Amino acid sequence: MRPEVFKMVDRVVAIDPGLETIQCEGLVPQESSIFEGHFPGHPIMPGVLLIEAMAQTTGWLILARNRFEKMPFLATVKEAKLRTFVVPGQMLDLHSRILHEGSGFVVAQTKALIEGKPVCNAELVFRVLPWPEGRMKDVVLKVAERVEFPVAGFVDA
C-alpha cells in the first residue's frame, strides 16, 4: 500500500464467481508521508483513507461486473464506522458485497478487518459512468495487473 498516492489495495485475493463479493488486502506501510501529519510521533491511518481502501475494493468488484466497460466513482458514504485505530504494519483484510445494482449506480456494503476483527465498515454508493476521455482506462488496467486482478477473465480482447 502507498496511501500517499492512493494505492490502497495491494492485491485482489478473491472474487466470487457470482460477482457478488470480493476480498482484497493492503498492508499499511511502516513509512509514508501521510504519517508526517497524521500524526507527528503517533502515526495512524486516516479514516478517510480506510474508506478509500474499502471504496477501491468495491471498485474492483464493480469493474469485474461490468467487464471494464464503465468506471465506478464514489458518490455517497453512509453509516461509516471507524472502530479502532489502524497503525503502520497492519494488514487490512478488505471485503465488499453488492447490495444493489441499479441503472448507472451500485450500492455496496463494505468492511475492513485486521486479524479477523472489524476495524471499519460503511455502505457506499457509486455512480457508474462511461470512461472519461483520455488515459484513465489504460491506467486502471495497468493498476489491475499490479494488484493481481484477474484481468484476462474480465476484459474482452
Partner 1 sequence: MSSTFDTVANIIAETCDIPRDTITSESHAIDDLGIDSLDFLDIAFAIDKAFGIKLPLEQWTQEVNDGKATTEQYFVLKNLCARIDELVAAKTA
Q: Which residues are catalytic?
A: 38
Grid coordinates representing 149 are: 486482478
Report the nearest approach of partner 1 to the CB of residue 101 (Å): 8
Question: What is the x/- site pattern for partner 1, positions 99-138, by CB under 8 A?
Answer: -x-xxxx-x-----------------x-x-----------
Q: Which is nearer to partner 1, 80 or 113 (CB)?
A: 80
Q: Which is nearer to partner 1, 14 or 75 (CB)?
A: 75
How far apart, in Å, are the Cα atoms of 24 and each of 16, 27, 35, 128, 132? 12, 10, 23, 21, 26
d(Cα 93, Cα 95) in Å, to the nearest integer?
7
107 within 8 A of 122, measured Cβ to Cβ: no
Residues in binding contact with partner 1, number by CB under 8 A: 10
**Site residues for partner 1 per CB under 8 A:** 75-76, 100, 102-105, 107, 125, 127
